[in-house]
Amino acid sequence: MPPAEATGGEAGAAHDAYAQPTPRLLYVHDDLTEEVATGFGPASAAAALTRSLFELLGRDRERVVILTLEDQLERVIAQGGHAPFDLALGIAAAGERVALALHARTGWFPRVRRLGLTREEDGRGGYRLVSTVPAPLPDQLQGIAECRTLAVVDDTIFSGLTMRGVLEVLSPDLLSRTHAFCLRGVADSIAAVAKLCPLTAGVVAPGRILEDVSFINASGLVRRVSIRPQGRPPLAFFERPEWIRAWFPGRDEEVVATCRRLNALLEPIA
């Protein structure tokens, strides 16, 4: 069973506060196909369901763009080389994975430290940054002041809240020796972050966030990792069917049903 949702007017107000419009362009990062094929086998039922899911997601070719890791890495690397950084900070597991994948191809990040940091809903339509480990962010950053060069790496810059949250706690001196990286993001948010330090991004999409452009990870559709309500367990996107309806109108029920079936294989009840 999915985590219990709050009921009544309070829950309805919370959902309204996080309403999702149908964006002109929706980018879906495929961080699922390889994971499922590796973990379950390419001929498994989970792999077959994953292929079915992407067939559903990609039916609207005019509006839904499927992004691959390889293409985004190549776009970042094509923008120029870097000498190895003293330290790379990977924001959460996703940022750490990006840093390691870039390092495997370039040698830029011989030392990677994961930051335990995520976005949590505040219940009023906004978000706040919270630590996913016992140490608050300043404690997680101890010992980095003497780095001659620092990289900060994330997978996506959407609103920019997470990347700015890290960069804004760095001293001006250290910030002057820092370079940010991401695989994808919204042009205006990337431009705002780039005012703090140089930034290299793979896929850059213009337009207003949510209305014109949105980014989601395919793993978030089926795993309980992407939505973090205040004071409650994380949710998968399929547990907000109104979001699926906005992102994939006309085939949302099929998407939700496929996500539920895949979730039962990936996160079976103990």
pLDDT at residue 16, as a whole number: 67
- The ranges assigned to domains in the chain are 14-68+208-266, 69-203
Residue 23, helix vs strand vs coil? coil
Q: Considering only residues 236 and 15, tell me which one the structure prediction assigns the higher pLDDT.
A: 236
Q: Is domain 69-203 classified as CATH 1.10.3730.10?
A: no
pLDDT band per the 50, 70, 90 thresholds, residue 15: low
Per residue in 149-180, pLDDT (tens digit) is 999 999 999 999 999 999 999 999 999 999 99
**Quick one: average pLDDT of 35-44?**
96
- Of 23, 30, 22, 93, residue with least CA distance to 58: 30
| Residue 94 CB contacts under 8 Å (≥ 6 apart), including other chains | 31, 154, 155, 156, 217
Strand bridging mode 150-157 / 178-186: parallel
Count of CB atoms situated within 10 Å of the CB of 117: 21
Q: Which amino acid is at 99?
A: A
* Cβ 158 vs Cβ 185: under 8 Å: yes
Distance CA 156, CA 152 (A): 12
Per residue in 64-111, pLDDT (tens digit) is 999 999 999 999 999 999 999 999 999 999 999 999 999 999 999 999
Distance CA 183, CA 100 (A): 13
- Of 96, 86, 114, residue with least CA distance to 178: 86
Q: What is the mean pLDDT of the chain?
A: 93
Q: Considering only residues 14 and 187, tell me which one the structure prediction assigns the higher pLDDT.
A: 187
- Which residues face 113 on adjacent strands? 89
